[in-house]
Amino acid sequence: MAVDMLNTVIDAVIETLPVYYNEGLTPDNKLYLKSLVRGPLQDDPTTRSFFLTISLDEEEGVRMPIATLTNARETKLGPLPEYEIGGGYLMVNYFRLDGWTPRQSTPERNYALIGEALARVERALQRMKYQDFFEDIATDNAMETTTGLLNIFSSGLRHFRVIGGETERYGVLLHKFALFSQIDTEYWS
């Protein structure tokens, strides 16, 4: 684990999501997740497909106190954890998963492959949620944790598309999600 919640979550997802995603696949399957790494990448993603990157979602604001959310953001996130009198500071942490599939000869094959890959990512995250994977994530010093919150995980925007030219095409996917956490009041003491 790490000293901050963002890196703690990224480390935990990198370690666990491939296990759920690859269930039932063999390493020679085109959908087999070869790696899940921190984003953004510095090299060409198409040379080692299929893989995912996980990174902070800067478009959403990376991280913010729940008290500062607008009504539109609250609606987008779904049910928020409830404040407890004398409890910690509630935060929302935004992440994104980006993925690339191997080259395919036709657009139809690309759409089928990337669509199935996105469905597997969604299914893996939902299984992690319902098997309480996100429930006890904490920083090294335990000053920030997800423990005790009724709602922790919120699945967000997800889509896929095919990119490329006449001879080479790749599938690209995006899946955004948010995790709620609580900072202990003694953190600022």
71-113 tens-digit pLDDT: 777 777 777 777 777 777 888 999 999 988 887 778 888 889 9
What is the value of pTM for the model shown?
0.87
Query: In this structure, is residue 53 part of a structural domain?
Result: yes
- Alpha carbons 92 and 82: distance in angstroms, whole number: 13
- Alpha carbons 59 and 56: distance in angstroms, whole number: 9
CA 17 and chain centroid, separation: 9
Query: In this structure, is residue 77 part of a structural domain?
Result: no
Per-residue confidence (pLDDT) for residue 167, from 0 to 100: 75
- Alpha carbons 133 and 63: distance in angstroms, whole number: 20
Per-residue confidence (pLDDT) for residue 47, from 0 to 100: 58
Query: In this structure, is residue 23 part of a structural domain?
Result: yes
Query: In this structure, is residue 76 part of a structural domain?
Result: no
- Alpha carbons 138 and 88: distance in angstroms, whole number: 14
Specify the number of domains making up the chain: 1
Query: In this structure, is residue 172 part of a structural domain?
Result: yes
- Alpha carbons 144 and 111: distance in angstroms, whole number: 40
pLDDT of residue 170 exceeding 60, the answer is yes
Per-residue confidence (pLDDT) for residue 34, from 0 to 100: 85
Q: Give the largest CA-CA distance in the chain.
A: 61
The residue segments making up the domain with residue 168 are: 5-69+88-188
Q: List, for residues 18-73, the tens digit of each pLDDT value.
A: 999 999 999 999 889 988 988 877 666 555 567 889 999 998 888 888 877 777 77
CATH number for the domain including 98? 3.30.70.1700
Per-residue confidence (pLDDT) for residue 62, from 0 to 100: 87
